[in-house]
């Protein structure tokens, strides 16, 4: 039996409810972070923030649609960002719907497309930012790591 088969034996209602809760928490966190002005969007912009001030980053979202799966450069960037986040104890998740993410974050200016393949959430100031959605997602990530799912996939709510 493979690891994937073992993971598939989870109780479906429990994992579905857990996934929906995480998706809702991510939605709330993105909106809250955007209001606070502590959201960084874009692979290159995120890499700059991670390089300059990794201690201030609290959460990372990697997003890719099916057509992005064949983009080798993007996948290499994802691998490097994942490694950096794991090394610096930054919780990280994957989302499979960039369009849904764009609807939540609301890019604002439609003439200039924004890269939403990587989104970082930072502390707005020196004090630890206490957001209930961030705490839920941190617990979700911790539970996922306990079953060797280092970068869990989250489905955003409709």
Ordered structural domains, the chain, with CATH: 21-151 (3.30.1330.30)
Return all residues near 157 (Cβ < 8 A) that are at least 6 apart.
20, 23, 24, 27
Contacts by 79-83, CB closer than 8 A, 24 or more apart: 80/47, 81/43, 81/46, 81/47, 81/50, 81/118, 82/150, 82/151
Report the run of H or E that residue 119 belongs to, with start and end. strand 118-122
Entry pTM:
0.83
> One digit per residue, pLDDT tens: the chain, 158 residues?
554 454 554 444 456 777 778 999 999 999 999 988 899 999 999 999 999 989 999 999 999 988 888 899 999 999 999 999 999 999 999 999 899 999 998 765 555 567 899 999 998 665 556 788 999 999 999 999 998 888 999 988 88
- The 3-state DSSP class for residue 53 equals coil
């Amino acid at each position: 039996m493979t690891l994937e088969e073992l993971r598939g034996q989870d109780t479906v209602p429990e994992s579905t409810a857990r996934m929906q809760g995480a998706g809702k928490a991510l939605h709330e966190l993105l909106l809250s972070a955007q209001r606070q002005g502590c959201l960084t969007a874009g692979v290159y912009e995120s890499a700059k923030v991670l390089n300059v001030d990794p201690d201030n980053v609290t959460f990372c979202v990697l997003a890719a649609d099916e057509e992005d799966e064949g983009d080798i450069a993007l996948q290499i960037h994802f691998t490097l960002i994942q490694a950096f986040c794991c090394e610096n104890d930054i919780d990280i998740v994957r989302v499979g719907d960039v369009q849904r993410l764009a609807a939540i974050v609301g890019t604002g200016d439609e003439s200039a497309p924004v890269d939403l393949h990587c989104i970082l959430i930072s502390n707005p100031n020196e004090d630890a930012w206490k957001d209930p959605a961030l705490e839920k997602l941190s617990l979700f990530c911790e539970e996922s790591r306990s079953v060797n799912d280092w970068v869990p996939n989250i489905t955003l709510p409709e």
